[in-house]
Structure 1
Amino acid sequence: MPQIPEGRNWLKPGEVAERAGVAVSTLHYYESLGLISSRRTSGNRREYRRDTLRVLAFIRSAQRVGVSLDRVKEALDQLPRKGLPTKKDWARISRQWHDELTERIEYLTGLRDRFSDCIGCGCLSLKSCPYSNPDDALGAGGQGPRRFP
């Protein structure tokens, strides 16, 4: 992976994409969602601030643990608009997500521990299955297919 010279604060989309391990189209998508921002050069080309790399690492890490892009945006909206986010800023976001991530870990651990039994049970009961439809939450919406929460 090529090193980016220390003194450069603005990077081309290709440089950011390669360094972050994403496609340039992903940068454009994240920008359309307001997760990252760019500026335009006099030649109308995008450039991203160097600290966009840290934001992209945060986005990808959050996605790996199942955090939605909407939740990521809520968190990023709390960061300072001017200047770089501090360790304290990132710690605040981490505290806010702690309980949600702990709950998700507990759920996934239970699923992992009972997965063979669940798949092999053959009940095919969406009404009583604690994994597909906990507490028959989908039944409250009436008959027919429902989107899982």
Structure 2
Amino acid sequence: MRTSTPASQEKLLSVGQLAARSGVAVTALHFYETKGLIQSTRNGGNQRRYPRAMLRRVAVVKMAQRLGIPLAEIATALAALPIDHTPSAEDWQRLSAGWREDLNRRIDEMIRLRDQLDGCIGCGCMSLKECPLRNRQDHLAESGPGPHLP
């Protein structure tokens, strides 16, 4: 004989189910929870249970991490959303808009580094004194060799 589960319990996922559906390790989910990125409740057996909305939040966290956004910034951005709210496409656009400028800055820096690397490979010097990759913005080099700060 099968017993029915209350509707509110059917919407909850165990940590194993959330891990399997999100592709994120259970330990990572526990870590995300300690950082306030996701939230669970406890059942009568003291086991974690996650609302289905956490699936989308985990997806947002993983995508933001792929962009190189630090977890602290992700947590700040997610804090603007109600915890029981499944992030929507509009939420993602609002969150990602705040990260776009930083991402563009990092892309520009990587392009400059790539272009400098091409020049460095061409000369082959790798000089600590003159190479813009090895000794970027080193104004103390103009004072000669050795330490210059007390």
TM-score grouping bracket, smaller chain normalisation:
0.7 to 0.9
Please, which runs of 5 or more residues in structure 2 have no aligned partner? 1-8, 140-147
Q: How does 1:1-16 map to 2 (within 5 A)?
A: 8-16=10-18
**Corresponding residue SS for 1:79:** coil
User: In the TM superposition, what are the counterparts of 1:35-114 in structure 2 within 5 Å?
Assistant: 35-114=37-116
SS at match of 2:68: coil
CA, structure 1 residues 36+129, in 2 after alignment: closer, same or farther (shift >3 Å)?
Answer: farther
Which stretch has the larger CA shift, 63-72 or 14-23? Answer: 14-23
Please say if residues 8 and 50 of structure 1, whose CA atoms lie closer than 8 Å, have aligned partners that are also in contact. no
Deviations 1:18-44 (A, max 9, x none): 222221011111101111110101110
Aligned counterpart, 2:34: 32
Q: Structure 1 pair 24/81, CA: closer, same or farther in 2 (3 Å)?
A: closer
**8 Å CA contact 2:40, 2:51 repeated in 1:** yes
Tell me the number of residue pairs that the alignment of Structure 1 and Structure 2 aligns. 132
Does 1:124 find its partner at 2:128?
Answer: yes
Worse overlay, 41-50 or 12-21: 12-21
Contact 2:116 2:133 in 1 (8 A): no
Higher normalized contact order (CA 8 Å, seq sep 6+, divided by chain length) = 2
TM-score (ref. length: structure 2):
0.72
Q: CA deviation at 1:73?
A: 0.6
Distance of aligned partners of 1:101 and 1:12 in 2 relative to their CA distance in 1, 3 Å threshold: same
Larger radius of gyration: 2
